[in-house]
Amino acid sequence: MNITFIFFLGLFLAMVGVIPPGLLNMTAAKISLKEGYVRGVMFAIGVCVVVLIQTYVAAIFARYLSKHQEVIDILQRVAFVIFVLITVYFLLVAKKEPTQHEELEMRSKHSRFFQGMFMSAINVFPIPYQAYMTITLASFGWLDFSHTSIFSYISGAAMGTFVMLYVYIFFFHKIKDRSIASQKSMNYIIGGITGIISIVTLINIINEM
């Protein structure tokens, strides 16, 4: 399998995972706006270092699961149901604008790099997300579990995370007052993404029946 293709798969899927506003990307944007570009980028780099480790752990876990097809079949069906429920929630249920949360003031004197590492470490979502995506890619034959493929994929995942944090750092202040940044619009975006993932998962389940 072409390692460049695998790299861009990791990059794209990581970007998709970081698109929705969350603790990491919003913190990166706020640091950049308040303290300057350099500190925001250092925070993002710290996040990506941990993402490398998390994605590697996810790939190893996925490699183990790939040898136990019966477990994968169960997880795929569970994941399909979860993604469908998430899609329904964001497209049909979550329509109200959220109340404004009081902004947390950053008082830490430590390096923003280590702050990024810490905040990324407590965000464990990338591990199950990347494990599922890795299994799905392997089931389509787009990824194998050789060391070269795994290294290419996790490198792409780290770069994709950095790219999306970079976008938040430099463009958040330009879109924060526009409709695209509203919670309602973001709900539709998230729902659309999970809807696509649900369709891909369903196709994969049907092909294996």
For tokens 């477990």, what's the residue? 71
Asked if residue 14 lies in contact with residue 154, where contact means CB atoms within 8 angstroms, the answer is no
CB burial of 86-107 (b: ≥16 within 10 Å; e: otherwise) equals bbeebbeebeeeeeeeeeeeee
Q: Report the distance separating Cα 1 and Cα 68, nearest Å.
A: 22
Q: Quick: pLDDT tens for 42-77.
A: 999 999 999 999 899 888 888 877 676 666 666 667
Average pLDDT over residues 102-120: 66
Assigned domain for 202 exists: no
Number of domains present in the structure of the chain: 1
**What domain range is 145 assigned to?**
3-79+110-174
Selected residue with higher pLDDT from 111 and 205 = 111
Q: Which 8-state DSSP code applies to residue 181? A: G
Assigned domain for 92 exists: no
pLDDT at 105 over 50: no
Q: How large is the angle between the packed helices 126-139 and 69-88, nearest 10 degrees?
A: 120
Assigned domain for 148 exists: yes
pLDDT at 100 over 50: no
Residue 183: pLDDT band by 50, 70, 90 thresholds? Answer: low
Assigned domain for 198 exists: no
Average pLDDT over residues 171-177: 61
Assigned domain for 24 exists: yes
Q: Which 8-state DSSP code applies to residue 182? A: S
Assigned domain for 20 exists: yes
Assigned domain for 195 exists: no
Assigned domain for 69 exists: yes
3-class DSSP state of 147: helix
Average pLDDT for the chain: 75
Neighbours of 58 (CB within 10 A): 24
For tokens 């109200």, what's the residue? 96
Q: Of 50-64, 83-97, 109-123, which gets the smallest average pLDDT? A: 83-97
Q: Report the distance separating Cα 192 and Cα 184, nearest Å.
A: 12
